[in-house]
Amino acid sequence: MPATQSTLLTITIGLSLLALAFAVWLSRWVLARARGKPEMQRISDAIHQGAKAFLARQYRTITLLAILVAVVLYVGYGVFRTPNPSDPVSNPRTLALYVTVSFLLGAISSGIAGYVGMWVSIRANIRVAAAALESLNDALRLALRGGAVAGLFVVAMSLLGVGGLFAALSALVPVGSTAEQWVPKIPFLIVGYGFGASFVALFAQLGGGIYTKAADVGADLVGKFEAGIPEDDPRNPAVIADLVGDNVGDCAGRGADLFESTAAETIGAMILGVFLFRYFGVGGILFPLVVGSFGLIASIIGVMTVSTREDGDPMQALNRGFYTTAVLAVCGFALAAKWLLGAPEHAAPDAWWHFFLCGIVGVLTSIAFLLITQYYTEYAYRPVRGIAEASQTGPATNIIQGIAVGMEATVLPVFTIAIAIVASFYLGRASGLTGEHGELIGGLFGTATATMGMLGTAAYVLAMDTFGPITDNAGGIIEMSRQPESVRVITDRLDAVGNTTKALTKGYAIGSASLAAFLLFSAYLDEVFNYTGRRISVNIARPELFVAGLMGAMLVFWFSSLAIRAVGRAAYSVITEVRRQFAAKPGIMQGTESPDYGAAVDIVTKAALKEMVAPGVLVVAFPIAVGLLFRIVGLGAEAVAAFLMVATIAGIIMAIFLNTGGGAWDNAKKYIETGVYGGKRSDAHKASIVGDTVGDPFKDTAGPSLHVLIKLLSTITLVLAPLFI
Amino acid sequence: MPATQSTLLTITIGLSLLALAFAVWLSRWVLARARGKPEMQRISDAIHQGAKAFLARQYRTITLLAILVAVVLYVGYGVFRTPNPSDPVSNPRTLALYVTVSFLLGAISSGIAGYVGMWVSIRANIRVAAAALESLNDALRLALRGGAVAGLFVVAMSLLGVGGLFAALSALVPVGSTAEQWVPKIPFLIVGYGFGASFVALFAQLGGGIYTKAADVGADLVGKFEAGIPEDDPRNPAVIADLVGDNVGDCAGRGADLFESTAAETIGAMILGVFLFRYFGVGGILFPLVVGSFGLIASIIGVMTVSTREDGDPMQALNRGFYTTAVLAVCGFALAAKWLLGAPEHAAPDAWWHFFLCGIVGVLTSIAFLLITQYYTEYAYRPVRGIAEASQTGPATNIIQGIAVGMEATVLPVFTIAIAIVASFYLGRASGLTGEHGELIGGLFGTATATMGMLGTAAYVLAMDTFGPITDNAGGIIEMSRQPESVRVITDRLDAVGNTTKALTKGYAIGSASLAAFLLFSAYLDEVFNYTGRRISVNIARPELFVAGLMGAMLVFWFSSLAIRAVGRAAYSVITEVRRQFAAKPGIMQGTESPDYGAAVDIVTKAALKEMVAPGVLVVAFPIAVGLLFRIVGLGAEAVAAFLMVATIAGIIMAIFLNTGGGAWDNAKKYIETGVYGGKRSDAHKASIVGDTVGDPFKDTAGPSLHVLIKLLSTITLVLAPLFI
């Protein structure tokens, strides 16, 4: 089949639509299931309302911020900036319009992706709880398929958005230009889409992350410690807010995160494909979209094969599904590589299998990240057990040990990333592609194809991730409605698996962000090259660039500080509210009065939204300030690049530290709860609860927000590059 | 006076010898004071013995490691390496001999510097305790002058070593070379001195840091929590080990640290001076030595002016002394700049005052670091109070808040460093110095002179630092020998001041390390230029260099993890030993049997020495591995540079985070002990103790070791650069 533009766009858009249709079918399948007992429904409805209310208000805030940025973008591009002969379109107003509209489309799509993730999860939770009354396998499949609705929707929307924009723009060939000249310019016009997506993702992840942990920490501190009631006890006024948090933090936040990953990295890879135009034509540009749409099909098949025996290990079932997806994605990748990068007229007959091997590198990287994350966060292994052991001498040693484990956990992932980047770069360079002066140019595209390989399983991984909050909620509903012990055993098992899959997804997300980082830098440098005609060198031995890099690393610490502190402050408002309710209604503790769940939900909603603004604005404003400041000495583009790259390095490592440390503390507590070192209510257990609480904002607020931060920095610099030159 | 080489070396060596003589006089003055009551002497003697025993064993281990490195250096340079026409001497064996001997001299001098710091502090402690029986002013002056012995000795030794080596080598003009050709090569031959100094400093700081915190944490956990006895209670078998720790960690460690700072940064600045030879001749090369020796005199005067009224604030007295020193050092700097960089025949008549302004930038940087450190670690200000407030809701919120404060505390220092580096670079560039092709070349020397300006007060700052453990020990002796309350009030006040000065010195040390970083990179790049004739670009947009940078940042986390964990493990052995003693001798708690202090000292000595090896070896081996690995693809020198620079960035920020977080937790506890939030023994106080314990290995083991790590990486790459090319 000839790889014409329309064929490739048809495949991408067609497969994406197919995946969307399948997601709709799956969601109907999930919604058709029983909703269980009335007392369970009451709880589910309360979660439902709280989540919807939060998202509505959060989106209002984000919309305001996004409109502000859109105006700045339009005015900056259309009015203040001097047009450049290398602009993809010559009229500055038209250029400004393209960039701004792409930004808004990206922002809206990212918002929808987050909303859908949450929409399905707050409906699936009660049905999984009901299914757990009967069968483990039923509950498992229901939870995963509920998650898959989110996963498929997010990835398909992302491909559809990028593919659709590309198709729309390719119909708008400007007067005086041929399609041949126009098409390679399109990726530069849609970079705004990635920026819009990551802009919304940052606030979604931050706001959701602050909400979920403020509610969790607040409910725990006031419930377990002050009132002495267990977790998920219905007498705790903050308990519904806690369950809402799982949805808005994990589903909506991670949904937006992976949406923008797919969008930004696809666009970045397309930009690199532009520079291989003379080899692969439009096939090289659209390769990332085609591979992505094949990955959707692989994920659908992977999800549908998952089932377990009633006495089986649900985690193994999910793992089998993952490996099925990975193998199928690799097959699709090979097909696409041979077809689009392997035609003999390309004069580089060996290129396709080199890039295919790069894809394999990407898949292996994702598997390595999953295994390393497992080693550091599951209590079968040394690190978590060490933390549990240290809990015997109190909370201080528990914290010291946890921090040491988190820091150590950065070592293997960094080696993995290092090997993956260098291997895919050298493989790509060995592909035989040469530039105008005979220099080898395939290296960067090699790292891009490795990223595409890693993203091939994105939809499945996101399904596993959303599995987490669904089963967590199901467990909460079972607990709060006081169902029999036998049911709790099932939901507890699923909940434990959900905790693991959440940790794994974070490993996957940071792994793909790291691998993609290089691709996004290269896109930035290409953008600068496109404008200035010179390849800038990011030489951090120059004092200005060293200083910019230093500030980039500092941004990561500053941002983490703000995010962690935000949780503390928002949690404090929860504690105050719960104390107020306990004092005002003494009957709550006797079970004669029911607490006002809505008030607690309302308080934490307001607090989280207020707290998300400062760190979010910091991330957007800082790189712009650096770029404009160093532009004065003629080093704007270089300084921003150094800022971006060192911030990415620091962000990757800090995110791994925070995610892994938090996950390890969590499971050290769970390990002690299995009965070791005195089990529940022992001093070691109390110490481990301190570590778990400290880890909460690490792993669910600051860490995941850093994934988005890394990519937002890349997309913001990509979009604003013309302003720094 | 003509600035001939012999004049300048005479001044440097003469003033350094004068400072040494003055230090000897001061130490006799200190030793002539009364040693107090017999029960105080018994304690002091026990500390004395423990410290000596630790240092003897530590030095044995370090000696073995240093000999190993010396052999590797000699063989690497003399046998394996192919000689390079740019080698300063043509015979590889001779070159190897110079490098190895410099290394060993640096190592030995660094060891002596550490030893002297401790020698005086374990003798001054009892005398300060005795003086405190009578007068605050007496005790203050005694403690500061005791500290000054260490401070002057360390800095003078360092200048004497570098100056002496320079003098010795300049007498050894090789056959076929003129003095004119030979002198500019000397700084490259003595880089080994800086490496030797930082090598020993790393192990001294690591071993001492592990020792002091293992003893502290171990004694606290088993004493306060398990046995319920107060701090410094003589019934605790680990209490002497705790007091020993203050000496071996703070005195010996920081002494070696600042010794190597002075040595490495002086040599680095001399190398930059070489490249301005055609302007300033030997005056530019020896400028750092002359400025340093003027700073010694400024510090002597500063120390001697300090005194306080009996009802005065001792911290204010110390601050007055610091500002006196700073003003005098600035005057000396102006003098040296005018003389050596300002002569009309240099054809750059404005150069001297530009570089003088750079020196002012350095002094202002040191003051900024002191003020920022004060803001973040003293309980008069918001950050520490916030931690205290968060302690009310338990240890978890205390930890969360402390980590957030530590991360936030990196912001202002980074801006300070950024401004200092850029300002001094641009000032230096505006000096009018040009290279062969008319390019402006004064910028890097500008950053170097800023560093020299900052180092001008080093001896005074080190005196303030050693003041810390001396007063801490004095307080411990007073406490353990149960002296009257009125005396304790005096030692408590001095101890509080000592805690502040220790924190300030860490701020100063990391500030100077950051400013010096740029100077040391430049020296490395000059070394590479010297060998290859090309200016390498540290372009982290190249995948190999990005990956190397990523590994550099990761090294900082890995190292911190090892250091923190080492404290945990060594503390555990202390706890086990104390429990054993309590079980074996039940009379200890009744006060009828005396505990075996020596056994506890012995245990922690062994544990600390064992634990210091892994992180130390990691720091030495990792950059070498990176250099040799990337040498395969012809990027050894570049990859090492990227590794070094990003590791430096991460190390600076991590060190500030750890030092400040630890200091803030410490003082949040002290703030609660003043009576707020329920005061001593309240729940908030208990929570704050957890934070304090977590902060211990942060601020006294990992943080200070990172200062040395940064500089060790610079010196090791500088020395081994020829192997990576």
Instruction: State the burial class of residue B56 (Cβ atoms within 10 Å of its Cβ: 0-12, 13-18, 19+).
Output: exposed
Q: Out of B560, B653, B694, name the one closest to residue A553 (CB).
A: B653
Over 90: is that where the pLDDT of B395 sits? yes
A334 in Cβ contact with A360 (< 8 Å): no
B458 in Cβ contact with B268 (< 8 Å): no
B455 in Cβ contact with B508 (< 8 Å): no
Q: Which two tokens stand for residue B617?
A: 């070896």
Record: contact A642-B540, CB cut-off 8 A: yes
Instruction: State the burial class of residue A137 (Cβ atoms within 10 Å of its Cβ: 0-12, 13-18, 19+).
Output: middle
The percent of chain A in helix, strand and coil, each rounded to the nearest 5, is 85, 0, 15
pLDDT-above-70 percentage for chain B: 99
Question: What pLDDT, on a 0 to 100 scale, did the predictor assign at position A427?
Answer: 95
Euclidean distance between CA atoms B343 and B296, whole angstroms: 25
Question: What pLDDT, on a 0 to 100 scale, did the predictor assign at position B231?
Answer: 76
Interface test with A, best of B387, B399, B659 (most A CBs within 10 A): B399
Over 90: is that where the pLDDT of B223 sits? no
Planar angle of CA A599, A601, A603, nearest 5 degrees: 70
List, in sequence order, every residue forming a beta bridge with A440; answer none if it has no partner.
Answer: A434
A379 in Cβ contact with A388 (< 8 Å): yes
Phi/psi at A635 (5° precision): -120, 25
Q: Which two tokens stand for residue B132?
A: 């405190």
pLDDT tens readout for residues B74-103 = 988 888 777 777 777 778 888 889 889 999
List, in sequence order, every residue forming a beta bridge with B539; answer none if it has no partner.
Answer: A539
Q: Which residues of B486-517 are buried (b: 16+ CB within 10 A; e: fewer)?
A: ebbebbbbbbbbbbbbbbbbbbbbbbbbbbbb
Over 90: is that where the pLDDT of B391 sits? yes
Which amino acid belongs to residue B314?
Answer: P
Over 70: is that where the pLDDT of B124 sits? yes
Record: contact A550-B217, CB cut-off 8 A: no
Euclidean distance between CA atoms A392 and A378, whole angstroms: 19
Per-residue DSSP letter, A434: B
Euclidean distance between CA atoms B417 and B656, whole angstroms: 12
Q: For the packed helices A636-673 and A395-408, what is the interaxial angle rounded to 10 degrees?
A: 130
A272 in Cβ contact with A526 (< 8 Å): yes
Chain B: nearest CA to A672, how far in angstroms? Answer: 18
Euclidean distance between CA atoms B698 and A404, whole angstroms: 11
pLDDT band (50, 70, 90) for residue A647: very high
pLDDT tens readout for residues B526-562 = 888 888 888 889 999 999 999 999 999 999 999 999 9
List CB contacts of B274: < 8 A, sequence separation 6 or more: B184, B187, B188, B284, B285, B526
- Residues of chain B neighbouring A694 (CB-CB closer than 8 A): 396, 399-400, 403
Phi/psi at A311 (5° precision): -105, 10
Question: What pLDDT, on a 0 to 100 scale, did the predictor assign at position B79?
Answer: 81
pLDDT tens readout for residues A495-544 = 888 888 888 888 998 998 888 888 888 888 888 888 888 888 999 999 99
- Residues of chain A neighbouring B697 (CB-CB closer than 8 A): 400
pLDDT band (50, 70, 90) for residue B1: low
Question: What pLDDT, on a 0 to 100 scale, did the predictor assign at position B664?
Answer: 94
Per-residue DSSP letter, B457: T
pLDDT tens readout for residues A311-322 = 888 889 999 999
Put residue A174 in one of left, alpha, beta given phi > 0 → left and psi -120 to 50 → alpha.
Answer: beta
Interface of A with B in 685-724 (CB under 8 A): 689-690, 693-694, 697
**Which pairs with CB-CB distance under 8 Å and at least 24 residues apart come from A82-87?**
A84/A531, A84/A722, A84/A725, A86/A530, A86/A531, A86/A532, A86/A533, A87/A722
- Residues of chain B neighbouring A543 (CB-CB closer than 8 A): 421-422, 425, 443, 447, 518
Question: What pLDDT, on a 0 to 100 scale, did the predictor assign at position A84?
Answer: 75
**Higher per-residue pLDDT: A173 or A9:** A9
Q: In the predicted model, what is the mean pLDDT of residues B633-658?
A: 95
B333 in Cβ contact with B291 (< 8 Å): yes
Question: What pLDDT, on a 0 to 100 scale, did the predictor assign at position B343?
Answer: 64
pLDDT band (50, 70, 90) for residue A268: confident
pLDDT band (50, 70, 90) for residue B345: low
Question: What pLDDT, on a 0 to 100 scale, did the predictor assign at position B586?
Answer: 87
A197 in Cβ contact with A109 (< 8 Å): yes
Record: contact A558-B410, CB cut-off 8 A: yes
Chain A: nearest CA to B401, how far in angstroms? Answer: 6
Q: Where would I find the beta strands (DSSP E) of A29-171?
A: none
Over 70: is that where the pLDDT of B71 sits? yes
Chain B residue with CA closest to A565: the answer is: B404
Arithmetic mean of pLDDT over chain A = 90
Measured CA distances, B495 to B244, B467, B474, B500 (Å): 16, 9, 8, 9
Record: contact A690-B394, CB cut-off 8 A: yes
Record: contact B652-A397, CB cut-off 8 A: no
pLDDT band (50, 70, 90) for residue A229: confident
Q: Can you tell me which residue has the tokens 């924190």?
A: B503
Q: Out of A221, A400, A657, name the one closest to residue B568 (CB).
A: A400
Q: Which two tokens stand for residue A413?
A: 């992932």
Cα radius of gyration (chain A): 25
Whether B554 has its CB under 8 Å from any CB of chain A: the answer is yes
List CB contacts of B401: < 8 A, sequence separation 6 or more: A565, A568, B386, B387, B389, B390
Over 90: is that where the pLDDT of B272 sits? no
- Residues of chain A neighbouring B225 (CB-CB closer than 8 A): 394
Q: Which two tokens stand for residue B627?
A: 């250099």
Question: What pLDDT, on a 0 to 100 scale, did the predictor assign at position B694?
Answer: 95
Euclidean distance between CA atoms A476 and B157, whole angstroms: 67
List CB contacts of B251: < 8 A, sequence separation 6 or more: B114, B117, B118, B121, B150, B466, B469
Q: In the predicted model, what is the mean pLDDT of residues B691-697?
A: 94
Q: In the predicted model, what is the mean pLDDT of residues B56-61?
A: 91
Question: What pLDDT, on a 0 to 100 scale, did the predictor assign at position A343?
Answer: 64
Q: How many A×B Cβ pairs under 8 Å?
A: 231
Which amino acid belongs to residue B71?
Answer: V
Chain B residue with CA closest to A396: the answer is: B690
pLDDT band (50, 70, 90) for residue A346: low
- Closest to A386 measured CA to CA, from B721, B561, B151, B130: B561
Chain A residue with CA closest to B557: the answer is: A407
Whether A219 has its CB under 8 Å from any CB of chain B: the answer is no
Phi/psi at B440 (5° precision): -75, 130
Chain B residue with CA closest to A652: the answer is: B550
pLDDT band (50, 70, 90) for residue A454: very high
Chain A: nearest CA to B675, how far in angstroms? Answer: 23
Question: What pLDDT, on a 0 to 100 scale, did the predictor assign at position B499?
Answer: 83
Instruction: State the burial class of residue B654 (Cβ atoms within 10 Å of its Cβ: 0-12, 13-18, 19+).
Output: buried
**Higher per-residue pLDDT: A590 or A467:** A467
Task: Note the Cα A719 to chain centre separation in Å.
Answer: 20
Whether B71 has its CB under 8 Å from any CB of chain A: the answer is no
Q: Which residues of A344-361 are buried (b: 16+ CB within 10 A; e: fewer)?
A: eebebeebbbbbbbbbbb
Largest CA distance in chain A: 83
Question: What pLDDT, on a 0 to 100 scale, did the predictor assign at position A344?
Answer: 61
pLDDT band (50, 70, 90) for residue B344: low
Over 70: is that where the pLDDT of B346 sits? no
pLDDT tens readout for residues B595-635 = 888 888 889 999 999 999 999 999 999 999 999 999 999 99
pLDDT tens readout for residues A414-440 = 999 999 999 999 999 998 888 878 788
3-state DSSP call for residue B432? Answer: coil
Euclidean distance between CA atoms B81 and B78, whole angstroms: 7
Q: In the predicted model, what is the mean pLDDT of residues A605-634?
A: 93
Interface of A with B in 399-438 (CB under 8 A): 399-401, 403-408, 410-411, 414-415, 417-418, 421-422, 425
Euclidean distance between CA atoms B599 and B597, whole angstroms: 6
Euclidean distance between CA atoms A357 and A351, whole angstroms: 10
> Of A74-83, A235-244, A696-705, where does mean pLDDT reach its minimum?
A74-83
Question: What pLDDT, on a 0 to 100 scale, did the predictor assign at position B690?
Answer: 94
A316 in Cβ contact with A142 (< 8 Å): no
Task: Note the Cα B574 to chain centre separation in Å.
Answer: 27
Chain A residue with CA closest to B412: the answer is: A554
Instruction: State the burial class of residue B473 (Cβ atoms within 10 Å of its Cβ: 0-12, 13-18, 19+).
Output: buried
Record: contact A568-B400, CB cut-off 8 A: yes
From the CB of residue B71, how many other CB atoms can be counted at a distance below 10 Å? 11
**Higher per-residue pLDDT: B496 or A659:** A659
Q: In the predicted model, what is the mean pLDDT of residues A378-384?
A: 93
From the CB of residue B185, how many other CB atoms can be counted at a distance below 10 Å? 17
- Residues of chain A neighbouring B538 (CB-CB closer than 8 A): 539-541
Q: Can you tell me which residue has the tokens 């920020």?
A: B653
Based on DSSP, count helices (H) and strands (E) in chain B, helices before strands.
25, 0
Question: What pLDDT, on a 0 to 100 scale, did the predictor assign at position A91?
Answer: 83
- Closest to A711 measured CA to CA, from A7, A321, A101, A197: A197
Whether B214 has its CB under 8 Å from any CB of chain A: the answer is no
Euclidean distance between CA atoms B234 and A327, whole angstroms: 67
Q: In the predicted model, what is the mean pLDDT of residues B590-594?
A: 84
Record: contact A414-B554, CB cut-off 8 A: yes
Based on DSSP, count helices (H) and strands (E) in chain A, helices before strands.
25, 0
